[in-house]
Amino acid sequence: MDDKTREQAEAEMREMTASLTAESLCIAWMATEGATVTQELALVRGWLLDELHERLGDDLFDEWLVDVDESGNGLNPLAYFERKPPAMTVEAPVHIRQRPARKRGNGYYKVQYGPSENGSRTLCGAPAGRDMAWGETRYAKNLAYVTCDECKRLRQS
């Protein structure tokens, strides 16, 4: 097997193992337990180990490798995935929307606002997402929920 083909095969395998769910990865690992050792099996187990190490982290991976059951066989790594702490979620910042423009229409046509006039833009110019209306933030108790310092500064000035 030439180097280019080996590199392509390795890249494809890493991509495939990265797309597996944790349960599927553990099933694949346990399916290779006790099988006759060949060069191909060693390569596959190496790729599976790399993916398990990446997903479990250093501490849980090391603990899993050392632990064995009563008969001396390796344990299913799925139990260690269940012990892994959940990933930290970063909450989106809360902004303040611009004040809607005051327009008066005539009796025949409905007033149409553009994006700069209808209150869908934030004070700091960030994309709208989790945000509060201009009027909601006139009281300090509501202003406390706003996490964008620039919006707070602009609202209070």
* pLDDT tens per residue across span 53-92: 988 888 888 888 888 777 767 788 888 888 877 665 667 7
One-letter identity of residue 27: I
pTM over 0.85: no
- DSSP letter at 57 equals -
State residue 82 phi and psi, 5-degree precision. -70, -25
- Let me know: does 110 contact 84? Beta carbons within 8 Å: no
Q: Answer yes or no: are the C-beta atoms of 116 and 80 closer than 8 Å.
A: no
